[in-house]
């Protein structure tokens, strides 16, 4: 009975601790949520429809994404070309 009682006590302690942590985290989340009430409502935001309204940073990021894609595609094509040469000619690097 001593070992079973000890195991049951440990299980009860773990369950109670888990419930306590859950309740604490939920209360903390609700408090943090109340602190964010000053933030702007999404429906109050007016978006510009002009395509030229984008920032220079956004255009730079777009160009950077294209450049990364281009180099990735070129590297991939080189990889396939080298593997094809290896299969056809037996010339492997």
**φ, ψ (nearest 5 deg) of residue 49:** -95, -10
pLDDT higher at 29 or 5: 29
The pLDDT value recorded for residue 18 is: 92
Return d(Cα 34, Cα 44) in angstroms, integer: 19
The dihedral of CA 40, 46, 49, 54: what is its sign?
Answer: negative
Going from N- to C-terminal start, the domains of the chain cover 56-93
With pLDDT > 90 as the criterion, what percentage of the chain qualifies? 19
Q: Are 92 and 86 in contact (CB under 8 A)?
A: yes
Give the number of residues written for the chain: 93
Q: Are 57 and 46 in contact (CB under 8 A)?
A: no
pLDDT digits (tens, 9 = 90+) for 8-43: 888 899 999 999 999 999 999 988 888 877 777 778
Return d(Cα 81, Cα 92) in angstroms, integer: 11
């Amino acid at each position: 009975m001593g070992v079973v009682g000890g195991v049951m006590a440990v299980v009860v302690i773990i369950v109670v601790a888990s419930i306590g942590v859950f309740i604490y985290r939920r209360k903390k989340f609700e408090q943090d949520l109340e602190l964010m009430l000053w933030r702007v409502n999404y429906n109050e935001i007016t978006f510009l429809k002009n395509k030229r309204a984008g920032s220079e940073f956004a255009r730079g990021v777009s160009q950077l994404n294209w450049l990364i894609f281009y180099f990735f595609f070129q590297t991939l094509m080189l990889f396939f070309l080298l593997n094809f040469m290896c299969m056809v000619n037996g010339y492997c690097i």
